Structure 1
Amino acid sequence: MTARLLLIRHGETPNNAARMFRGPDGAAEGLSDTGHAEAIALGLSLAARHLPTPRLYASPYTRAQQTAQHLADALGVPVQILPGVHEIDTGDWMGRPYSDVQERLHELVAPDGQFGYPGGESLAQVAERFQAALQEVLPQNGETLIVVSHGAALVALLSRLLGRDLKAAYLSDEFHHANTAVTELDWRAEGQPTMLRLADVSHLTE
């Protein structure tokens, strides 16, 4: 079996622009005007590719669903909600600036060595739930599975799928996705998926 998996980060939100962490309380936050424009541009780019048999899923969070709806409008397919691919719960770090990751890194390593957010989730937990969710909707031969998710969640999943150390990948920005960035994988029934493009944002300059 060979199929395509497209993993997409949602468009910009006001909190993204402010570079602040949100937790589950931010689930209802929508896209900014910039975020809507980014998602529209991505939808047009995907439509121009005439993707074979696309199936479109979004996380339960509003920003992912709004992004996915713009893609749905361009592709002519419905949006389905996929529990388990939502953003990491940042716990006690809710409302803190992104810069605290470098300045307070020691707070993100739990006594058992897991890397994540105190009072929230570890990246390993996110990778596990994301991968389990994908197992429920894996693309069939020739299909294109499109999943709109979130920045840290995508880092966790890709690290797991490609055998990278979660902490090292998170801190190195190896799998960092800007808003509406697209990662495309050649998905096979056996073995690791093959990376075709990583965190691509060329649609924003087309």
Structure 2
Amino acid sequence: MKSHLPGHPMQIYLIRHGEVEEKYHKVFGGSRIDMALSPRGLKMGEAAAEWLKDTKLDALYASPMLRVQQTLAPLAAQRGLEPQILTGLREMDFGDWTGNRWDEVQTKFGMSAFDWLEIIESNGLPNGENIESLKARVRESMLQIIHAHPHGKVAVYCHGGIIRVILALLLEVPLAHLAHFNIEYGSISLVELLPDRKHAVEIELLNFQPPIMQAS
């Protein structure tokens, strides 16, 4: 990945969609279930937009899935920005795990859902997305974004799994290593590309959840 990065600095804000509707909590939805946000998830979208209100952004990119589109709506309205939809940013396909709760995966498939990144990386998901095709589509999307905005700042709204793939690609580490870091609903992470430094990719912010404003 690094060998294909351009020779200019930029900042990338990675925003995970907000909390999904309650019936899908702790359920593997992936790309096959186009779920909506919960009321709290909608507030998370508003909180992210509020936190980013003074940040100059050159563009807004997003997954096509409903939960992402609902999360970015407040920021898009605030800025008058039209989100550029990239299908390569859709959530990963969890195959036969889709629709199952985390605690059901052990019973039905004899696997621990907590090892999901390791299982995905070893292509262990029954009928799930191939790891190489997953990385390839995410890599293509990110290189498109990066090359389009020299010296710029962009917001990328997508999914917890995809943010982990992005970070693994940029840092050139195995996807399973990202299990050490949470990417919560509605969180913002900031990556800086600094080609003049030995470590060209730096994580400036990780998994920050902007506070939700309480109604007075």
4+ aligned runs moved over 3 Å, structure 1: 99-103, 105-110, 122-125, 188-192, 202-206
- The match for 1:67 among 68, 71, 94 is 71
| Alignment match, 2:171 | 162
Distance in 2 between the 1:15 and 1:22 partners?
Answer: 12
- The match for 1:58 among 59, 62, 79 is 62
Contact 1:127 1:153 in 2 (8 A): no
| Alignment match, 1:152 | 161
Partner secondary structure for residue 134 of structure 1: helix
Taking only aligned residues, the RMSD between alpha carbons, in angstroms, comes to 2.7
Aligned length: 198
State whether structure 2 residue 21 is matched by structure 1 residue 14.
yes
| Alignment match, 1:179 | 185
Over 3 Å counting, the alpha-carbon distance change for 1:95 and 1:203 in structure 2 is same
| Alignment match, 2:40 | 34
State whether structure 2 residue 111 is matched by structure 1 residue 104.
yes
Identity %: 25
Distance in 1 between the 2:185 and 2:209 partners?
Answer: 8
TM-score between the two structures when normalised by the length of structure 2: 0.79
Deviations 1:16-49 (A, max 9, x none): 862111143312x2211111111011101100xx
User: Residue type matched to 2:176 in 1?
Assistant: K
TM-score between the two structures when normalised by the length of structure 1: 0.83
Deviations 1:35-69 (A, max 9, x none): 1111011101100xx22343111101111111111
| Alignment match, 1:117 | 125
Deviation at 1:115, TM superposition (A): 4.3
Unaligned runs of 5+ in 2: 1-7
Unaligned runs of 5+ in 1: none
